[in-house]
Chain A
């Protein structure tokens, strides 16, 4: 039985003859409550089947009925067993209710459920005063009340994060999307900024989807949290490469997040308050069927910052909504989310203003069809971006978009088959504060329409008893302004079970993407196709997974990625000009490496994972020069550990990465001599303590976190020092966070 975040309660309803719960029982979570009293109808008053040899009269019994709830959340617990003294007398039904017959008298009633502490109380069965009781069970100390984890679930090589891994990973400030920075294949290129380069690609080459809706921005400004409320997520699946064909338009990897379905049993609410912002999440059943959940967050950072400098304005907020409802055989899901960021570093200079915002609303329908099921959705969106790019003049972009998806899935004896279509239609309307260059095919600053359409087919074939093959084919058509391109991308994934506990997994294929900025900026999408063509990659990976070593899950993956990516023509431009066609250029790149992941699941008192990435990321820089990618970190190591001690969890993360390349510049006679210097290695230690306080009707989660508790200094630049040597530019940031979350 899986009950997230659970605490239990039991309501006992006792029939004729009622036991008075004693003080100990109340302390254990027993409530008396008004309710129907069931007359004892089970006790025969004499006589039995054998009239010739009458049996001794059976002892009188009373019917005890009740309900078991999780302590704190009031969630009913099904399958809890009840024992009267030493005899098992029954179990709760799917609603947590039970009705058991117990011999009259003073009895010890014990309730047990997986994941919860055993609860024992005493009742006087058949006592007229016995009223219905509610018993709340507390979750087991030191063990999770659910199963969760970092595990590979998809056919394609992926790492899946759920539950506590999303919200309690040390060093992430409780943000689920930040948790991916601890996974293999991910380089955090400019900590603490949440900018991730996956397998040597640019950060802008990895896509983020929420319930298949592309998310244009992941995080609020600077060190702000993710734009999605942490508890809105159900799971995050990270494909560092070789992602499924139902996704597309990214040359590297995919992060696919699923939202959590709102609870249908009753109203739930949570409120969280942190040092920088506050958020809330409320869910409620809908009349008839279904439920809705609404979440939001607002930052009062502006007020804090204004206290320090009234010339600076910082503001952000976000919201999310999901509503589920079944109409006949059709399951409908409405999803809406949006975000807003405003940063004005200097209110006297409006040109420096950064204003990012987006809204998405999606309606999804799933229905059985022709022996399988059909899934259809359409998402509408608006984006507004005002941002000075690389200190140049601002670019203001307003965009609207529509993204339809349709898929049909059916399982056969030998294969699971899916065919589908997805599209993105967008209109981008930039407002320039600057001049266009003449007759240029570069359209970043021009009004343009984009139509991105794709069809795909996928089959997971059970070819042999121990072999799963997933051949996929995706056809993409890209149309942006005057540019057009199409691409047929084959993909293949294979899983071979060497033993029951050991699997070899291989994946490969082709992936394409429109030209993109190295860093994703909302509204700065769908441009440059006519001039630059598509970004593309050929990817291949081979890995092995095993669970044969005690309670550890081990995975090792080697990969090779061959890219053609768009990149800044000059990463250190003296005069950046986003409106000129030389702002971006296409570069060849190769990345290969080894990724290791060893994890101990959350079901263990000591849990966590160790990830290590060894990679070499090479890039062509034009003019015949080949060098390391700007994002290349040869060694990346993360150790995430958590230890549960009662309702307290102590967590920590140790991170280490070797330095990425940094271009140093020297000038003689007007000619530039540039060379790579490696930034020094960086390590950091993060610590986090979570403490849960469980009350009968609500839960308080308290946490305190210190990111970079090791006080490590991040070197972000090096340059030749006057007189020789190298001079470093660095900062030291320590991010404390403290928060409390109440769940009702």
Chain B
């Protein structure tokens, strides 16, 4: 064989070798969009027509407002045909999120019918955004206008938009498409599904779903509801002749009976179920439980060095008071009619649940959180039974890590994210609060959604990209849907299970360098 043939042969070998650099397996699912700019907006709520509607966000052109995106919907059917895209709104901003929190590129605010709340502009006079609600199925658009703030009812069927919090003006958008202009509403709040608001004239009104405004009280300056909607009670505040003093009364939201609060109380709180009042006498360093219905009182001394911090234990007529010093912290647990129980512990109230915000208790009040570390170091967060406060407590996360958000799993365990140096690279643990048994479900990432039996997580995040992973909560088995380069993801809303097996997951995949796998993919929860 001559040199020329040899050279040619070697060149062929080299070319074949070069061509054979494996690209690796593609990520799971259908490749809907192949580019590096389109981002995940979410998945529209299914309407039963068999079509999956993926919400897409594309960055603006240079001429557009760089804070806004073009919102598209890509309709995908089960036949495997290519997606059909439609522009829903050009140059829109995104309001809040949609159950998808950390790590997601963008999620849209969605009501119970799947309509999307987006920002279409900015009111330069009031310095507030201009909102619209868009139906991703029909493309119908409902302009809401300049809105200082907006919020949904718990069912997300009702939307209240406050035009100007200071000067009043609100609009209620009902699920049946009725629009109620509330005019001069200055304070508004959903209590359960019912909307309560106070007008500029001091009228307390209520609108139940499908109903009309009804006047409940007059002369009201503000109101405070009990924590639990089932309590059916709120405290109304009215002015007195002394501008420094207000009068208080209780309104039963079921019977609409109003009763006066004890006249000698200047400062009190309602228990979550509304049964008890807790009043303080700061000068005397004492507090008193007062049964709202009977007026029965139980006074007790506040713990030493108590600054008055306390928290009602959810589901129980029981308050926990922090006291003691930094070096010797105490918790005084008081039930009406029973002597206080004092334990040496530092309550940890920084634990944040997406359900009930920061609390030292789990949402059901069954467990409580404490810290064994000194206050000026990284807390070592422990969990213990609130029924047995002097019983065993277990580390919720490894010492040295910060506790981020936690979820209560359907099986009673606590799902936590333990933050290290970078909150986007938290470790995920499931801890049985009764036994302390802990199992690691994932490392260096974020929980995206927690379902009944599955967790969708973005793990091993580097530069915002990570492994899109579904973890089976029963056995910890992890299924990587898309390795390494998932930038954002959203799960199709399906009933009460946020990560239901079979539910669609849409995600953005962007390799470190340009790749044929880049783009938007659609798959399902295994």
Interface residues of A (CB under 8 A from B): 434-440, 540, 542, 558, 560, 562, 569-570, 572-575, 577, 580-582, 585, 588-590, 592, 616, 618-627, 663, 668-676
Contacts and interface: CB of A to CB of B under 8 A. Distances in A.
B139 to A, nearest CB: 24
Nearest to A576: B462
A288 B429 CA distance: 69
A577 B427 contact: no
B514 A438 contact: no
A581 B460 contact: yes
B82 interface: no
Given A435-B398, A437-B440, A622-B24, A675 B425 contact: no
B443 A437 contact: yes
A619 B21 contact: yes
B105 A625 contact: no
Contacts of A623: 24, 27, 483-485, 509-512, 515, 517-518
Given A580-B425, A621-B513, A669-B59, A626 B443 contact: no
Contact of B10 (A434, A558, A668, A674): A558
B460 A569 contact: yes
B510 A672 contact: yes
A264 B105 CA distance: 74
B23 A573 contact: no
Nearest to A673: B36
A669 B104 CA distance: 12
Nearest to B516: A624
A671 B24 contact: no
A437 B515 contact: no
Contacts of A439: 439-440
B457 interface: no
A488 B401 CA distance: 44
**Residue from the set B425, B439, B508 with the largest chain A CB neighbour count within 10 Å:** B425
**Residue from the set A574, A590, A623 with the largest chain B CB neighbour count within 10 Å:** A623
Contacts of A435: 398, 400-401, 420
A440 B515 contact: no
A671 B24 CA distance: 22
22 contacts: A440-B440, A440-B443, A560-B17, A569-B460, A569-B484, A570-B512, A573-B463, A575-B425, A575-B462, A577-B421, A580-B425, A580-B443, A581-B443, A582-B444, A582-B459, A618-B18, A620-B22, A621-B513, A624-B515, A625-B511, A663-B512, A671-B464
Contacts of B496: none
B26 A569 contact: no
B20 A590 contact: yes
A542 to B, nearest CB: 7
A263 B515 CA distance: 61
A573 B462 contact: yes
B13 interface: yes
A442 B168 CA distance: 58
A573 B17 CA distance: 30
B483 A622 contact: yes
Nearest to A594: B10
Contacts of A625: 23, 511-515, 517
Interface in B1-21: 6, 10, 13-14, 17-18, 20-21
Contact of B460 (A580, A624, A669): A580
B489 interface: no
Contacts of A558: 10, 14
B292 interface: no
A230 B515 CA distance: 48
**Residue from the set A560, A582, A588, A627 with the largest chain B CB neighbour count within 10 Å:** A582
User: Which interface class (under 10, 10 to 19, 20 to 34, 35 or more) fits B?
Assistant: 35 or more
B515 to A, nearest CB: 4
A438 B443 contact: yes
B512 A588 contact: no
A438 B59 CA distance: 38
Interface string B389-417: 00000000010110000000000000000
A592 B427 contact: no
B21 A590 contact: yes
Contacts of A573: 462-463
A535 B487 CA distance: 28
Interface in B175-221: none
CB-CB nearest 3 A-B residue pairs = A438-B440, A623-B511, A582-B460
Interface string B475-489: 000000001110100
Nearest to B16: A560
A582 B462 contact: yes
Interface in B120-176: none
B144 to A, nearest CB: 25
Contacts of B439: 438-439
A620 B513 CA distance: 10
B39 interface: yes
A625 B440 CA distance: 31
A575 B440 contact: no
Interface in B65-120: 105
Contacts of B37: 668, 671
A562 B18 CA distance: 9
B512 A620 contact: no
B14 A592 contact: yes
A674 B512 contact: yes
A436 B401 CA distance: 11
Given A577-B444, A624-B511, 19 more contacts: A437-B443, A438-B439, A560-B13, A580-B425, A581-B443, A582-B459, A592-B13, A616-B14, A622-B24, A622-B485, A622-B511, A623-B24, A623-B512, A624-B516, A625-B513, A626-B23, A627-B513, A663-B512, A672-B512
B465 interface: yes
B63 interface: no
Given A569-B484, A575-B425, A669-B39, A618 B514 contact: no
B425 A588 contact: no
Contact of A624 (B26, B401, B441, B462): B26
Contacts of B10: 542, 558
Contacts of A619: 21
B196 to A, nearest CB: 39
Given A569-B462, A573-B462, A620 B509 contact: no
B422 interface: yes
B463 A574 contact: yes
A663 B463 CA distance: 14
Contacts of A562: 17, 20
B511 A621 contact: yes
Contact of B512 (A434, A574, A575, A622): A622
Interface string B26-67: 110000000011010000000000000000000100000000
B57 to A, nearest CB: 9
Nearest to A618: B21
Contacts of A620: 21-24
A436 B483 CA distance: 22
Contact of B464 (A589, A670, A674): A670
B8 to A, nearest CB: 12
Contacts of A572: 463
Nearest to A622: B484
Contacts of A542: 6, 10
Interface in B427-475: 427-429, 438-441, 443-444, 459-460, 462-465, 467
A694 B59 CA distance: 77
A415 B326 CA distance: 81
B21 A675 contact: no
B109 to A, nearest CB: 18
A54 B312 CA distance: 141
A582 B425 CA distance: 11
A672 B443 contact: no
Contacts of A588: 21-22, 24
A491 B437 CA distance: 51
Nearest to A572: B463
B485 A575 contact: no
A533 to B, nearest CB: 15
Contacts of A436: 398
B94 to A, nearest CB: 11
